[in-house]
Every structure is written in structure tokens, then in C-alpha cells.
Structure 1
Amino acid sequence: MTSAGTGNDPLPRRVVDALRCSVCGSPVELSGRTLRCANRHSFDLARQGYVNLLHARVSAGTADTAPMVAARSAFLESGAYQPLADEVARAASGATGLVIDAGAGPGYYLARVLDVCPSAAGLALDVSAVALRRAARAHARLGAVVWNLWEPWPVADGVASVVLDVFSPRNAAEFHRVLAPGGALVVAAPLPGHLAELGDLVLSVADRKEERLETTLGGRFARLSRTDVVHTAPFTARQVHDVVAMGPAGFHLDREDRRSRLETAEGRDVTLAVGVSVWQKLG
């Protein structure tokens, strides 16, 4: 059972210790509800508990919008992806230090990992402040930071025992840099057939995705294992709507008549097909 925080507590100590000023790269300290570095750069925690370390607006179509986040939260809370969350938690279950979730969204998977790793703390990174309003409240040992994953992260070298990447961008160089020696990277990526019953309502899985994963991570990481989570279950009409609206297709609901088709969509059996792989840091 996830232990929810109040959303008004300071960032966990281990998260603060791992963070670096996004202006000058210096260590930061938490004073009240403000992060400060020795060079007097400061960042205030939002009322919901997250902190934004970005300095510029993100491009449209990059950060999940409020409707997308609402759809994702409702869908995940329905339990439809529970088998995936359980496998991600199992893969990361040895974590004892800091777990960083790259592209954490509302913090669903990271909170599940923290539930099974009682001595770990979690850092949720995401470019969507809307998503991190929820992530900051997802678990008492979780801190949430707004950041663009393609930029060098405001995180110290070698501070994470595990990095999670669930359906998110893969910055292999930063994964490698922030992981401690021997640290593990847990990646969840869709397989062919994932959500296939929804047709063109969702964006299809790219060809040769597995080969691209090897290309992206190879040289910095060695794969230790892969478990395929393949599960077909009945989706309600609401779940069909939410799983489409929460993903990349959520940016394009006004194209190809998606929005009107979703409004009349009926429940159906839908396949979850995701590969969960564990990679060890090299070097």
C-alpha cells in the first residue's frame, strides 16, 4: 500500500543531498521551503511540494498537459497496469539508496518501488509540472523536480542505486553518470502488440524498437535480464478513453477524428505487452 505524503513536507534529505543547482552546479541546501546554493541561486518549492529547476519554458507538445495527466492518473489508479507496476517493482527491489525515475509522471511506478524498498528514497524527474503536483504527493519518501530529461540533469554524479525509465525518453549518458558503480537501470518499453486492439487511436510501436534500445544503451550498459509482461484484460469504455488520452496520442486528439471516436468508444479486451529489462552500469 503506497504511503502518501502530505505534499507540504520538505524534500527528503537524500533527495536534497543528490540535487545540484541548475545554474552553477553547486550543492544545494533546503532552508524552509527554498533550495539555495552557496552562490545564492534559489528555487522555491511549489505549494504542492515539487520544485522547478528549469529556466525556460518547454516547447508545446513536450510536457504532459492537465487533461493528459488526469487521464493517466485515473487509468493507473484503475489497476489496469498493475502487472507492469509489479514487475518494475520486482526488478528494482534491491534498491537501498536513491531511486531516480526519469519521466516519472504522477509518480505511480516510483511509489510502487518505494513500497517494496523501505530503505530507499525516490527522486521523480519530469518536464511536466502538472504531473509532478501529483508525484510530490505519491509517497512520503519521494521528492519531485521539474526538469527536461534531454538536458544535463541537476543531479550529482554516482548518487543513484537505481534509475527507472518507464515509457520515457532515454538519456543514456545521464543514466550512466548519475548511477553509482554497479547501479541498475530498469527500462520498460512497449512490445509489438501493445494496445493493438485500439488500432490507430494510439500511436503504433516503432519498428525495430528493441534494436534501437540496444543501440541507445550499449557501450554504457550491459543487459542482465528481460521479462515480458503480456496480459489481456477487459477495458471499460473509460479505460479505453484514458489510455489513449494519456499517451502521445493525447497531443493529437483533434487529428484523424480521434476525439469523436473516443467519445463513442466501447469497452473491449486490450493487450498489455511491455518488456521490462534490467541493465547494469559499465565502467
Structure 2
Amino acid sequence: MPPARDIPLLCPVCRNPLRFGGDGAPTLACGAGHSFDAAKQGYFNFLVGKGTVFEADTADMVAARFDFLSAGHYQPLADAVAELAMPALAAAPGIRPAVLDAGTGTGHYLRTVLDRAALESSPLESAALESGSADSASPGRVPAAAIGLDISKFALRRAARMNPDAVNVVADVWQPLPVADAAVDVVTVVFAPRNAAEFARVLRPGGRLVVVTPRPGHLAEIAGQAGMLGIEPAKDERLAASLDRNFTPAGARDLDLALFLSPRDVANLALMGPAGHHLDRTGLAALEDGLPQRTSVSARFRISVFERNHPGK
């Protein structure tokens, strides 16, 4: 049984608890009779009713992101996110820590968090927890459970292959999340929307929100010619203001990466972001053909950490 099954999920229709089918069946069902079968690629689709009004990433945008991230260009960012998530994943003995990756995309960042958590877990306690014999005397950590959530089914097809040990769900982050109250220790949000109230609801006491945003100058060498979106003014101030009612800042880390990208890398970088919804594919191909063998690009990130406010703040 994958550790992700330990996370209490809620039905997107009635908000009753969901349970996995017996004998390893890839089905989730609630007591009210609503059920959700896993797609053949391994993810669950929780978009119900009218679905969502937001535009999901397309297949070619997701393919570009997968290829770019698989090349390792942003691996130092993934490593930094995992490092900042670890303190909150150091759960009490015998309790499996859990992470929600909101806007999981292709699952690369979540994969790094889970690998880091597994590396730092106690093999003895992990075995004890799997056998049901873990108790308060067991030292160390246990492997983390995880939910990967995204609005794009094309992204979730990739994420489910990347993270088969997670529950991968197509859902709208602006709707009530299909996760029970106080069910996860960490919420990670890498270049994705932030539903502060819902993140606070699903976090356990002492839980941590880790948010990645671009800093001024991010990809400036190619942004204009590739038709990419600019960095919004006062982005940090707006981030803090949007979270203020539910979270308290607990630190931040700036990360700069010097990248040397091939023409294909540059095209993938342009296509994988929000501008990919509007980019002229023919013009992007012409840009790729005209680029030098290597282009020097600066990636500039801010990784912000927030702690959940105590009730009544």
C-alpha cells in the first residue's frame, strides 16, 4: 500500500471522507456513493460539476516543462525546496508526515521532496510503520506521504509516472481542496496559484508553506525575444499581503542560477510557463532556429517560508 493512502481525502462532491477500494483497486469512494476511478495513467480527476473556468496547461506546454526539468536545469531549486520542507516533515515518531504539492505540474519538485524525506527517514521505523508495529518509542522519521494536485490532466499524466507513491489529483486549487483538515505537514507551491485559506485549513499545527516566486531579472536575457511574461512589480509585497490572514513569514532564501541553454532549452523555457498559452508556435520555432549554440541565462528565485497562524490571530 503506498504511503499516500494514509492521507485523509475528501469527496469533491459532498466533502465526506474518501476511501480506497479494497484489494488495491484504483478507486476512491465515499459513504454517499460517489466514486472516482483512476485514469489508466494513474491519476484521479476531481473536477466535478462545471469543472473549472481556468485554462489548464496544454499537452505541448507540459511536454516542454517535462523536457526542461528532466535536463536538470532547475534541480538546485528543487533541492532548496526540499531542504526547506524537511523541518516540518520531521514528524513525531510513528506518524507519517505528509506533503501537498499544489500545482504539481510534472511532479519533478515533489519527487525531490519525497526522495529527500526518504533519505532522512529511519529504516527501522519505516519498517515498523509498514508492519503496523511503530510506537512512540520508535526513533527517527518515516517516509512521507504525498498529494500532487494540478488543474491539467496532461500534467498529471506525467506526475503520476514520476510519483506513483503519491495520490495525483486533477483539481482546481481555488475550490475547496479534497483534503481533510490538518492532514498535511507541508504545502509546496512552485510558480502556482495560492489559496491561503485552504492551505491553512489542511496544514497541521506547526505546518509549513513553501512558496517559490521569480525575482526581478529572472530570465531577463531571453524574456523579451521569447514573448515571456515580465515580473509583476511589488510581487513580494502582494504575496505577503495575500497570505497575511492565515500565515506568518518564517524566512526566505534567494537562489540565483547561471544557465547555459541550447536553442531547444530556450524554446522549452518559453513554452512551459504561463506565456505558453498565447505564444505563436511558428514564431517560437523561428526564434529557436536563430539562437546560438548556447545562450547564457540568469534564473532568479525567491523561496519563501510561511508558518500557519495560530487560531484567533
**1:154 aligned residue:** 178
The answer for the alignment partner of 1:117 in structure 2 is 117
* Equivalent in the alignment of 1:28: 18
In structure 2, the residue matched to 1:239 is 265
- Among residues 52, 73, 76, which one is paired with 1:80 in the alignment? 73
Partner SS, residue 192 of structure 1 = coil
Map of 1:66 onto structure 2: 59
User: Cα offset for 1:259?
Assistant: 4.9
Counterpart contact for 1:160–1:183, Cα < 8 Å: yes
Unaligned runs of 5+ in 2: 92-96, 119-142
The answer for the alignment partner of 1:194 in structure 2 is: 218
Choose from 224, 227, 231 the match for 1:205.
Answer: 231
Match of 2:245 among 219, 224, 232: 219
Q: Deviations over 1:240-270 (max 9, x none)?
A: 0101010011111129944532443333100
**What is the distance in 2 between the residues matched to 1:268 and 1:248?**
21
Higher-Rg member (1/2): 2
Cα distance in 2, alignment partners of residues 12 and 219 from structure 1: 29
CA RMSD between the two structures: 1.8
Aligned to 2:200: 176
Matched residue, 1:143: 167
Q: Give, in whole Å, the separation in 2 of the partners of 1:82 and 1:30.
A: 33
Could you tell me which runs of 5 or more consecutive residues in structure 1 were left unpaired when the two chains were aligned: 1-8
Query: Is residue 90 of structure 1 aligned with residue 116 of structure 2?
Result: no
Deviations 1:2-27 (A, max 9, x none): xxxxxxx8783123xx2101110000
1:253 corresponding residue in structure 2: 279
The structure 1 segments of at least 4 consecutive aligned residues displaced by more than 4 Å after TM superposition are 255-259
1:273 aligns with 2:266: no
**TM-score of the two chains, using structure 1 as the length reference:** 0.91
Between Structure 1 and Structure 2, which shows a larger proportion of helix residues? Answer: 2
Q: TM-score, normalised by structure 2?
A: 0.83
Q: Secondary structure at the match of 1:39?
A: coil
8 Å Cα contact 2:190-2:212 kept in structure 1: yes
Q: Does 1:19 align with 2:45?
A: no
Seen in structure 2, the aligned counterparts of structure 1 residues 256 and 238 have a Cα distance that, compared at 3 Å, is closer
Distance 2:51 2:239 in 1: 29
The superposition leaves residues 48-103 of structure 1 with CA deviations (integer Å, 9 ceiling, x where unpaired) of 110001113444x6111100010000000011101111100111123141100010
Distance in 2, Cα, partners of 1:249 & 1:256: 14
C-alpha separation in 2, matches of 1:194 and 1:91: 21
Give the letter for the 1:75 counterpart: F
Partner Cα separation in structure 2 for residue 263 and residue 151 of structure 1: 42
Matching residue of 1:3: none
Q: How many positions carry a matched residue from both structures?
A: 272
Q: Which residue type is aligned with residue 77 of structure 2?
A: L
